[in-house]
Chain A
Amino acid sequence: MDRLIKKNWWKALGVLILLYVFVMGMLVPLKPGITQVTPSATRTNSQIVLDVQGYNTHFDEAKDTMRIWIKMDDEYILAATRITVKGPTQVEAAFEIPAYLPSDRRVQDFALVIDNHIDGAAVRPNALLVTQDSIDLAMGQTVWRSDRMENLHQLKGITFPFRNILGETIRNTYFHVSLWLAMMIIFTAAMVYSIKYLRKQERRFDHWAAALTTVGLLLGGLGLLTGAIWAEYTWGKFWSWDIKQFTTLIALLIYFAYFVLRRSFPDEAQQARISAVYNIFAFVALIPLIYVLPRLTDSLHPGNGGNPAFGSEDLDSTMRMVFYPAVIGWTLLSCWIASLLYRTAVIEEHLWDEEPTHD
């Protein structure tokens, strides 16, 4: 029993971590947010009533502390003159837009901010576009100085961030993004074993490299599939030839060719040597395909087209609490699967080697 625990503890650890990821990833609620603001455009010197739709909000219970603003930047803010709560997720806010804006642009965008004591503060960027009839920066600046946005409430308890369009699918970070990082770790390990094989020429290193590459390919395939499902409901299409979708497909095809290559050599030593060299080549191709090329042009993926990946915008501290364990959990589970493949390959080798003596 002791030996069993000593040898296999990491498998149990991987499963426990993944269990934590599933429970936390599915059960932690989303932060209250704003899904829709109508109408989305108006002119200066007018009265407007905005219909605001919330998500996970408690407008009716927090009626007394409700405050709503439209906001150009930290300095120029306008508070709602009248707030009518219609339900837990619906509220109407009336604004009196002054004749001039504190901006020299003809059309200026405003964010909408809602605050109450239960939900805390929620922001919707670009909620309202205001077109001004005549531009007078100085007049605008004097008219817009009155309102302040102070004493915003902090939401209690742990939540995941609310993002428009994403909604609850932000949880896919733990079941899609983490798969890719686990895949990178597995492919790196496969490359290390390929180098080891080339240095020592021991058959077992080749078995490990092949097993790990198989699992890496499984993770990558699942990454593409889950990404396509996620894309259908956020980008609108399963496959939109996005640069990152395209380059990862190429990278996976390169790795797929590894197995085609392995089968085409009858001599075992030659097979192991050439596939080890090819595996190193595939890894060298993988890095620019996944991490460099998508950043050079515009992509639908966050963290590409010049944006830093995993900034605080994409991944806040509560999400990190689940995301990093998810990467470790998937990696450990993949190592377990790879070890099954390795052991199978070793048994197969023994059997095939014995075969001639039996016949």
Chain B
Amino acid sequence: MKVQNWILTALIFFFTLSSATAQSNSGDFMRSMGKMYVVVAVIVAVFMGIVLFLVFLDRRLTKIENQIKDHG
């Protein structure tokens, strides 16, 4: 899959999740315990961003490996 597809998939997943939370009562869940789960969501977002970067770097290194295989 291309990087663009990955990003698109992540975005669709994100919007599905947010609309699902809007319909159910999980707004109350996010606001419970003094809105602690908002902090959890933010940390998860940062973690997912770093993972997305790892995927990007992984693909770039795979290209290099293939290049070496083809010519070496």
Contacts and interface: CB of A to CB of B under 8 A. Distances in A.
Given A226-B46, A233-B30, A355-B71, A172 B39 contact: yes
Contacts of B68: 351
A230 interface: yes
A168 B35 contact: yes
Given A225-B49, A344-B61, A354 B71 contact: yes
A176 interface: yes
Interface residues of A, number: 35
Interface residues of B, number: 23
A137 interface: no
B61 A226 contact: no
Interface in B48-69: 49, 53, 57, 60-61, 64, 67-68
Given A168-B34, A355-B71, A344 B39 contact: no
A351 B69 CA distance: 11
B38 A348 contact: no
A229 B64 contact: no
A168 B49 contact: no
A172 B57 CA distance: 28
Mostly, the B contact residues are helix
B68 to A, nearest CB: 7
A168 B38 CA distance: 8
Contacts, number: 71
Contacts of B34: 30, 55-56, 167-168
Interface in A210-229: 218, 221-222, 225-226, 229
Contact of B57 (A30, A230, A340, A358): A340
Interface of B: 18, 30-31, 33-36, 38-39, 41-43, 45-46, 49, 53, 57, 60-61, 64, 67-68, 71
Interface of A: 22, 26, 30, 55-56, 166-169, 171-172, 175-176, 179, 218, 221-222, 225-226, 229-230, 232-234, 238, 337, 340-341, 344, 347-348, 351, 354-355, 358
Closest 4 CB pairs of A and B: A167-B34, A168-B34, A168-B36, A222-B49
